[in-house]
Homo-oligomer: A and B are copies of this chain.
């Protein structure tokens, strides 16, 4: 899985071969084919693995909900991003762009979207419970945040000009302040 991560990051999806992954794995291509019948099957397994790793990062802690929501935004729409991370995100975008023709990929990305929405719902409900946030429609709010993250990923990958996360983060901050916090009658 780590070899697949490195190969995806360094080669992108479009030109990725089983040989690239085997090279990173420091093992033979046939040893990969022993476990996975095809590149697509290996990549689906990789997405499952990445989802599992990612989900553990999103869980709730004891900190104030607003602060936790902020950390979630930092993970999902980072203000800055190093080269390796950017290359990996671009490869994930290329994988997701195959989804219209690869139902197994679509299924994994739907699961990833669901895990993110669930985490957002948990954080929003905890904030409402503790009295930090107004009693908003948590499902619609979580879906809106998810769509912003996906939109930022899409724009980051497909515009040649250097993508700027600042306006989106600023609009998210306004949303939290105006809709979640100031709407709160307490």
Which A residues contact B (CB, under 8 angstroms)?
12, 14, 90, 93-94, 96-97, 99-101, 103, 106-107, 109-110, 113, 136-137, 139-141, 143-144, 146-155, 157-161, 167-168, 170-172, 174-175, 178-179, 183
Contacts and interface: CB of A to CB of B under 8 A. Distances in A.
A183 B178 CA distance: 8
Of all A-B residue pairs in the complex, the 6 with the closest CB atoms, nearest first, are: A151-B151, A144-B171, A143-B167, A97-B97, A147-B151, A99-B158
A24 to B, nearest CB: 21
B148 A109 contact: no
A171 B158 contact: no
A140 B140 CA distance: 21
B151 A168 contact: no
A106 B179 contact: no
Nearest to A183: B178
Contacts of A155: 113, 147, 150
